[in-house]
Amino acid sequence: MGARDYSIQLDPLETLSKGGILLAQLRTASAEASDSLRELKRRHASACKTYYQLAAISRRKLLDAEVREACTRRLYPIRSSIERSILADLCHPETSFAVESEAVSPSFFGVSAKQGVSIRYPLQACVPTSRCGGGCYAHDGRDREIHHIFRGVLNYWLGLRYENGTDEVRARILRLLRPGIRRAVIAARLDRSNAQKGGYERPARIRFSHVGEIAATPRFANALAQAVKKYDRSVSCVIYTRHPKAAELNPNLFVVNFTVEGPNDARRKFAPQTARLVSSAWDGVLIEDAEINFLEHHIGRIATAQGTGNICPVTASHQETPSCDSARCNRCFAPVDNSIVRLRRGRPESLPTQ
């Protein structure tokens, strides 16, 4: 059954109740061993289906506002709990299949018409705000499917193994990823070539964690970016992050877009001085000093801009320009102009999270 069927046929309150029961079960579940990735997916299929259904309902164009809010609040806790449960099973000492082999497969890097070449991470790696936890685009479309959930967790499993591993373990991981890195660079070049054929000149690029937060494993992120640059220095490694470890990302390897929410966002203190400050313009509220404001453009609507500020053209007119290339925009991917005045970094007492 597809997303359209779920949106039409499922009862919102019943599905919301199922989500609450699932969340309670996930929070008390114990890790289990698996003999294969297929077996592990079967074990978590029911939980992933309930999450998918709840996400689909939350994205309905017509839905009672209170029900939508209740569904949306549940999305991050449920998905991140599913991901933690999968990761725990992968790490179970009696899991007998070759997790590392699955993790370094060609699927480590994704390729899509919209995102281009990218790396997927789980939402459990995030430190979300109350708005981005449920509003994340990871809950939209194909990004909420079970195979994408598993790919994010497998990538994170590998990232954690690198982050906490010996020099020998780290060297082996990079060696095993070498064919995938080569394919990713070739795909990024092809993506650039296709843009050129359409009359748009721009560099080849790879998005690091287009969902999730690879900044949660900064040593792994830096090592991957360095490996990409060794293969082809012209490929731009781009990352969108709001993670507290963003300062550990190497600015000589990455174009870092650090996301804030409003002028008083507690995360400003984590924004590297070398990063581009961008804004999640929830409800269309722009930040004048942000280099780019991303208007909310899902759940069947585009938020109306309020205030002044630079707006991402894709989010401003998603139907007409659904991709960066169609909008002829390279703003997120260009090197950061350090002459641009940064937003003042406040130092609030606490960090609000989901």
| 3-state helix/strand/coil string of 93-152 | CCCCCCHHHHHCCHHHEEEECCCEEEEECCHHHCCCCCCHHHHCHHHCHHHHCHHHHHHH
- Return the structure tokens found at 125: 């790696």
Buried/exposed code over 258-269 (b: 16+ C-beta within 10 A; e: otherwise)? bbbbeeebbbbe
List the beta bridge partners of residue 257: 240, 276
* pLDDT < 50 regions, the chain: 1-6, 341-350, 352-353
Hey, where are the domains in the chain? 1-97, 98-354
* pLDDT given for residue 297 in this prediction: 66
Alpha-carbon span 127 to 73, nearest angstrom? 15
At residue 193, the pLDDT reads: 96
Residue 258 near residue 279, CB atoms below 8 Å: no
- Would you call 234 helix, strand, or coil by DSSP? coil
In angstroms, the CA 88 to CA 58 distance is: 28
> In this structure, what are the phi and psi dihedrals at residue 251, rounded to the nearest 5 degrees?
-70, -15
For residue 331, the 8-state DSSP code is T
| DSSP 3-state of 348 | coil
pLDDT value, residue 199: 94
Q: Are 135 and 296 in contact (CB under 8 A)?
A: yes
Q: How many CB atoms lie within 10 A of CB 1?
A: 11
Backbone angles phi, psi at 13, to 5 degrees: -70, -40
